Amino acid sequence: MAEANISDLIEQYLKEILSQDDFAEIKRSEIASRFAVVPSQINYVINTRFTLQNGYVVESKRGGGGYIRIEHVDLVDDTKIFDELIDYIGDSIGENNAGQIITALLNDKVVSEREANLMAAAIDKNSLRISDKVSENTVRARVLVGMVNRLRFESTNTHG
């Protein structure tokens, strides 16, 4: 039970808000000055304590009237499966293995056929083709185009 660092306090404060409202919409500079820390520490707290794995979705906007919104989302029942899957995937995975995972998710009815198709489109070799100077945006575009194209078809099996 060691503690009392400021990040923990900020975490507590935000979770307090979340225990009452569906989401916490804050102004970064406001929270920073409330706790007398630099604004970027708010990002640190969010990045380390309000991650997807922990069940939080964060969205933000800059500029005038900017904000950071933290939302808590419900976990599905058996989250262990996903943890194992993610462990298995690790840092790198080939197209075949990835396709098998998607097929397994489909077989177990974790995802619908449409959803499986979307996932297959996203990880398709063509979508992810990387050359030296390719940018993040370029890859993203390919991924998105692949997925959008997939939506044209009602239901088609494409992975495996």
Partner DNA sequence: ATAATAATAGTCAGGAATGGTCAAATAATG
Partner DNA sequence: CATTATTTGACCATTCCTGACTATTATTAT
Site residues (vs its own copies, CB under 8 A): 1-2, 4-5, 8, 25, 52-53, 55, 57, 59, 64-65, 67, 71, 73-76, 79, 82, 85-86, 89-95, 98, 101, 105, 110-112, 114-115, 118-119, 122-123, 125, 128-130, 132, 134-141, 143-145, 147-154, 156, 158-160
CB 102 within 8 A of CB 122: no
Q: Give the shortest CB-141-to-DNA separation in angstroms.
A: 15
Residue among 14, 65, 22, 76 nearest 42 (CA)? 14
Stated length of the chain: 160
Whose structure tokens read 């950071």?
68
Residue 111's nearest CA partner among 125, 122, 95 is 122
- Interaction mask 4-43, DNA, x per CB under 7 A: -xxxx-----------------xxxxx------xxxxxxx
